[in-house]
Structure formats: C-alpha cells, structure tokens
Amino acid sequence: MNRNAGKRIFFDAIVFGYLLVTAIIVCSHAAEPELLVYLRAGLFVLCCVAGGTVAMILRARGIQTLGGALFERPQISDSTAPRTWYKTFWGGSLIFLFLVTFVMGWVVTDMDLYELVDEHALNGAGRLFAALASPQFDILPTTILAAIETVFIAFMATVIAVPVAFFLSFLSAKNIMGGSAPSFVCYGALRTVLNIIRSVEALIWAIIASVWVGIGPFAGMLALMIHSVAALAKQYSELVECVDEGPIEAIQATGATAVQTVRFAVIPQIVLPYISFTIYRWDINVRMATIIGLVGGGGIGEILIQYQGQAMWHEVGCIIVVIAVIVWLMDTASAYIREAIK
C-alpha cells in the first residue's frame, strides 16, 4: 500500500514536472539549445519537486491522478457507476499529456511539411528513385555471394545462440528460480545482465565486435550472436514462466529432483514454441545482418554501403532487389514452418 503510494507520487511528480517544464519553456520562448541549458541547470528536477507537491495535494484530496490509476487502483464499489474514462481527471490529463508531447515532438524533430514537397527536393528524390528502379544487374553475382554470406552469418549467430539461451532461460525464469533466496538472487542478476545486453542494439554490438575481431563477417556474426542470446533467453524464459503448473506438481509428487522436473514437466511443454521462436529469430537475424554489414559486419550490407558511398544508385538498386527477395523468402519460409509445427 505504502510502496504503491510512493510509486504513484513519484510517477505523478514526473508527469507534472514535465508539464511544468514544457510550460516554462513555451512561455519564455526558449530555443532548443537553451532548453538543454535549462535541463542541465536542474530546472526539471525542481519542477518535479513542485510536481510532487501537487501530486501529494491531489492524493490527499482523493482525486484520482494518472499515477493513481496506474499504481493505486481503488476498490471498485458497486454503488456508483464509474465515469467514462476520458471524463475523469486522470483520463483528461492523459489526453492533455499526449497532446503536449505530440506538439513538443513536432518541434523537436524539426517537422517541416514544406521540405517534403519542395520542388528542388522532389526533383532530387525523383532522380534517385528512377536510378533505383532501373537496377544495374551486372553486379548480380557479387551481390548474391554477399547475400549468401549474410544468410550464413545469421544462421551461425542463431545456431550458436540457441543452446546458450536455452540453458540461461531456465535460470532466468521466475517459476523455476523463485524457490529459494540464493536462486532468486541468481535470477535477478541474470535478468539484469540479459536486459542490459538486449538493450544494446545489435548495430552497436557490431561496432564493438568489428573493433574486437576486425571488420568482416565474423564480427557481424558475433554481434548478432550476443544480441540473440539475450533476446532468445528473454523470450524462452517467458515461455518457461507460462507453462502449465499441473504437470510440474505431478512430476514433483513422484519424488523427482528439480532437474528431472524440468526435463519431464517443463521441456515437453516448451519445445514447439522454442522452435518457433528460434526460426523467427533466424528470420530477424537475416534482416539485421543486412544492416550490420553497414558498420563492418560483412555480407550484403557491406557492398551496399560501398556503392551508396559512391552514389552508384543503379547498383544500389540491384542490391536492394536482392535484399528484398531474401527477406521475402525468409519471411515466407519462417511463417510457413512456424505454422506447420503449431
């Protein structure tokens, strides 16, 4: 109860602080660099403190705020019908928050519809599209070789990641590890590490790997493999967490050990979804391998960036055709296989 109140106030403080900062910036007609200066000066923190005060006052007066709706759900009473959500205070503030953020976003991202339809800009885009639409197929053999490299990069990354992720998925599943304090600590630590690895994009891992083992397909494979381990372990462990408890109870009741229980009650339930996720991951990895080539991870992305750098748009067009075909093939194949093993 108290922890939820804390969460609620914290959340509301940030919401109100954010609105307050926005209001101040708009009122002072501050330009973008100054906005950063304001932030550095701790204006945001000050506003959050002010927002926190507002949040506490609202809570004391019993007004349901956004944070309250999220963290402190009131008991549903039968006597009064609840108001439609957008007529409530929290619903109204949600809509207001969204509108403010949309307008802020418009300004921050330099949205300019005029640039999109400017005559000069349209001409340039037109020339580029014309070149891409008439691909130069002389480089097709090289492109296909690079494409094959890309598929193998993705394949190796997935194959190596699967056993590691399989093993880690049990150690990062709450229902397996929640039993005792030491195993729960191990679960928490592993979850954190995996989350950190996963939150670093494969593209960044490729940059790290290309420094580590040198530019080339190996670096690309390594980057995808690291990212796949974390992503698969997360997906796998979620599957482990939603297995039917009944068979687990039944196997435990025979006097089985924890390892035997996992082997006989958990694994049979998760094999098919595991395979399905693994194929999907390979599919994702093929698409990612293309991108990773751009930063030195080998494969088709590498030649794409070369021709793009020389503005050889007809050749780029050919590469794009090959990429499209591969992605389409992988997509269809993986969807078909996943459907077949359901």
Which residues contact other proteins (rule: CB under 8 A)?
Answer: 246-247, 249-257, 259-260, 263-265, 268-269, 271
* Closest approach of other proteins to the CB of residue 260, in Å: 5
Whichever of 134 and 260 has its CB closer to other proteins, that residue is 260
Q: Give whole-number Cα distances, 220 to 207, 301, 314, in Å.
A: 9, 10, 26
Query: Which residue lies nearer to other proteins by CB, 33 or 246?
Result: 246
Of the pair 35, 251, the CB lying nearest other proteins is at 251
Axis crossing angle, helix 300-309 with helix 140-171, rounded to the nearest 10: 130
Instruction: Give Rg (Cα) of the chain.
Output: 27
- Closest approach of Cβ 264 to other proteins, in Å? 6
Write 81-89 long-range contacts (CB < 8 A, 24+). 88/64, 89/58, 89/63, 89/64, 89/65
Nearer to other proteins, 161 or 243 (CB): 243
CB of 294 to other proteins, least distance (A): 43
Cβ contacts of 7 within 8 Å, gap of 6 or more: 67, 70, 71
> In the bound complex, what is the minimum distance in angstroms from residue 254's beta carbon to other proteins?
5
Structure tokens at 76: 């549903």
**3-class state of residue 269 by DSSP:** helix
User: Measured from the CB of residue 266, what is the shortest distance to other proteins in angstroms?
Assistant: 10
Distance CA 172, CA 186 (A): 8
Nearer CB in complex with other proteins: 118/249: 249
